Structure 1
Amino acid sequence: MASSRPLSPHLSVWKWRVHAITSITHRITGNGLAFVGLALFAWWLAAAATSKEAYETFLSVATSPFGWLVWVGLSWFFFQHLLSGIRHLLMDTGWGYELGVAKASATWTFVGSVLLTALFWGAVLFGRGAF
């Protein structure tokens, strides 16, 4: 017998809450770091081991506007994944299951990752010699 109801909830039924988005973002950033980050790392190593021309090609792409966008994106991925991982680790201990705490901690992973990314790139670009 056919039913007019869907067998499983459709995306339009779900309310996108910040803790759900944080969990999904954690998975996306982990995969992005693994695939994009590893590919760039392998390209850098191969270029450095191959020839001066290969390394100059890597540097020209890595320092282009698109390359800078990728580096900033990867650093945000790193900080987002790190803070979300810490949040998950704390939740594994039993902390943060109250609705207000869960929402606040999920929101702070996004705020913190943006702040840490800005601080990191500020230190890289403006703090040369500061470390």
Structure 2
Amino acid sequence: MTDVDLKGKRPISPHVQHGAYKVTMSMAVSISHRLSGSAAYAGTLFLAYWLLALATGPEAFETAQMLWGSILGRLVMFGFTWALVHHLLGGLRHFIWDIPAMMEKPQIEFLYLATVIGGVVLTVLIWIIGYSVM
């Protein structure tokens, strides 16, 4: 066999720049699950800051409240809420697969969509309920 023959039969590189990979739902949901876990971790640090400010005294708490009450602060908190909910739903999806259940392709696709859509819907619902209680 010559080198020319080998090059013709070699697999295509899976690198994204070569165009061999097409972004699939499973790939996107897997990446978003990892990102939401990191965002939830970072958001927990912000929550710890808020609790420390509460414990420190009225001036520190007022500063924290001003930060979180701003438009940017609320946007960060909305993203934190989404990260928590999305990561929770992704964990439930993995728990269902650990049973094992819903392992057929249509069911798997349903769980992917339920994770993505459910994360957004539940986040919006949590914020609607939060604002209605205030």
User: Could you state the TM-score of these two structures normalised by the residue count of structure 2?
Assistant: 0.83
Alignment match, 1:77: 83
Per-residue CA shift, 1:49-73, capped at 9, x if unaligned?
3232211111111000001101111
Kindly report which structure 2 residues correspond to 1:20-31, keeping only aligned pairs within 5 A, or say none: 20-31=27-38
Identity %: 34
Alignment match, 1:107: 113
Q: Which has the higher contact order (CA 8 A, sep 6+)?
A: 1
Alignment match, 1:10: 15
Amino acid at match of 2:94: H
Q: Which has the larger radius of gyration?
A: 2
Note if contact 2:13-2:20 (Cα within 8 Å) is conserved in structure 1: no
Q: 1:40 aligns with which of 38, 46, 49?
A: 46
Amino acid at match of 1:20: M
Note if contact 2:39-2:83 (Cα within 8 Å) is conserved in structure 1: yes
Runs (4 or more) in structure 1 with deviation over 4 Å come to: 3-8
Amino acid at match of 1:88: H
User: Could you state the TM-score of these two structures normalised by the residue count of structure 1?
Assistant: 0.85
- Please, which runs of 5 or more residues in structure 2 have no aligned partner? none
- Name the structure where helix makes up a greater proportion of residues: 2
